Every structure is written in structure tokens, then in C-alpha cells.
Amino acid sequence: MESNRCTGQPHRAALILARGGSKGIPLKNIKSLAGVPLIAWVLRAALDSEVVDSVWVSTDHDEIERVARVWGAKVHRRSPEVSKDSSSSLETIQEFIRLRPEVDIVCHIQATSPCLHPHHIREALQMITEQGCDYVFSVVRRHQFHWEEVDKKEGKNPTPLNIDVAHRPRRQDWRGELYENGSFYFSTRKALENGLKQLGKIAYYEMLPEYSVDIDVDIDWPVAEQRVLRFGYFGREENAAVRLFLCKVSGCLTNGQIITSVSGEDHVAINARDVAGIHMLQRENIEVQSCGLVQIICYNFLVISYVHLGFIFLHLIFVTYYYDGVVHDTVHLLYIRLCL
């Protein structure tokens, strides 16, 4: 969008900094996390927040630029002066606003915080647009005790900084302390132009621990992947219609086990939850077909669209399909399993 100055509304720009020279994890900003480029998780949240007028990625790398554009962002090609290992985020943002005079509020979002949701952005931005804050940053509540760091060679005892050792509180009796979680930093243009040295009203936005994920080194990656699969933002739910539900009986409607009786007969157990789920689909007038691994399916093409109707488990099925008696391809189908 263009500037909102004609309407009297400030232009709010979401900005994600994504330099190509990451040292800890090379090109981590576009590394796949749960099947999606890392930077795409926050781009999706920013675009769907519906409270920012533009979404930007500041980068010096061609591939990051390509990924950013694919996921709907505009690209600010940063200069070499702010692309160094020693360059600060503030310097890069200041360059951005110098070249974008229409921007009044910068929502600096970190690409390494993939559990950000649109509502986090909306609520934090309101603290600037409606409550008059100049600077808003995200925090998380931690229950951690701090001790003074000492030089062991000096033989000095460390001093507790936030705990009485003789009266160590239980977790439920202590509210904990607030720490920056690095998810975002929102500020007005004036505050940024002053180098964040003369801030007026400052506020923090507290995020729940499950959304406070930060990726710095390789060991953080598998933990973040599991967290984002459970707490990440997967986009708006589309109001698409299920036209066809195709499933393979063996290993899907069953539990994948074969039971051999004492007489040598093989038996399989049908999963009652799956059967109940299929009955629910049929009551919604959705065509349900079961097939063997190489059953003939007489369609010129096969498209399955689905919506979130309580389905939470997805299984990948391989089905070879025929058309006019000729094997065309092996397609990957989503088997949608109801959790009742």
C-alpha cells in the first residue's frame, strides 16, 4: 500500500531483517522449518495481521530476495554499508526509513521467531497507535534464578541476584521475571531517527512461553520445528469444499497390523474412529471411495481440496491411478483422519 498521509493515518511497515551472511546457521532465514522457509512463518503472520500497510524484507542476498517475494513481501535491497558482520539492526532500519519517507511506524519482526501469530502483531501495534507508545517490544515470563558471575581464580563467592537462598520460592508462589524473547520491536519513526536514545513512552508486550521460540544455533532447530508444528501460525482457514475423499483400506482404516489366529488365518482390525469419521463425511454429502493400492480411478485428473473440519492427523498415501487402462502416475494423497 501507499502512504496513508492523505487519510491522516500513519503508514505502518512490517520489516524483517534477513542478511545472507548468517554465521551460526548459513542462510538460516530461508532454511526449511517444518516444510516452510523460516522467514515465511513471520511473513505469513504479518501479511495476515491486516494492520500493517506494507511488509518488507531487508536483505543483501538474491535467494532470500526471491523467497521473500514468493511469500508476498516487498524487498529492500540493503547497502553494503549495513550488510557487514558488525552492522547493527538499528543501522539497517535507519537506512530503510531514510529511503522510505512514507513510513511512520516500523514493526521490526525477527525471522527467527516462527511462532508469531497475527494477533500478537495487532495487539502490540495498538499500543503505539492507540496508547501513544513510542517503543514496544516482546517479552516472555521466565522462572529462572540469577547469580552473579565471578572469576573463579579470585575465589570469590557468587551472589544471588534475584533469590533468597534460605527461602527459595515455589514456582506457583513466584510470578517470575520478564525477559526479551526477541520476537519483535515496534517503534515510531521519530524514535528510530533519534537512535532510540530519547524514548518517550515505552511498553512491553508479554507473549506466552509456547510462542517464544528463538533460533540461534543448530541445536535450536529440531526443538523449534516441534514447537512450530504445535503452536505456529499456518495461515487463514480457507472455505474450500471437500469434493472427494479417497482412502486406502489397508493400513489406514486398519491399524496396520495383521493378526494370525492359532488356525493360521490372518485378520485385521478396523479402526472404529476412522469409520465414524467417514460416516461424518458421508452425512455432509461428501463422496467417499476406498481403493486398493493399484485400483482404477477413472478421472482425467484428481484434485482433493480440504478444510479444517476437526481433522488434525494427516497421513500420506501412495496410490497408482489409471486412465483409459494406462498407468499415468503415482500420486500422493492426503489421508485425513478424524480425532474423535
Active site residues: 168
CA dihedral 60, 62, 67, 68 (to 10 degrees): 40
CA dist 278 and 274 (Å) reads: 6
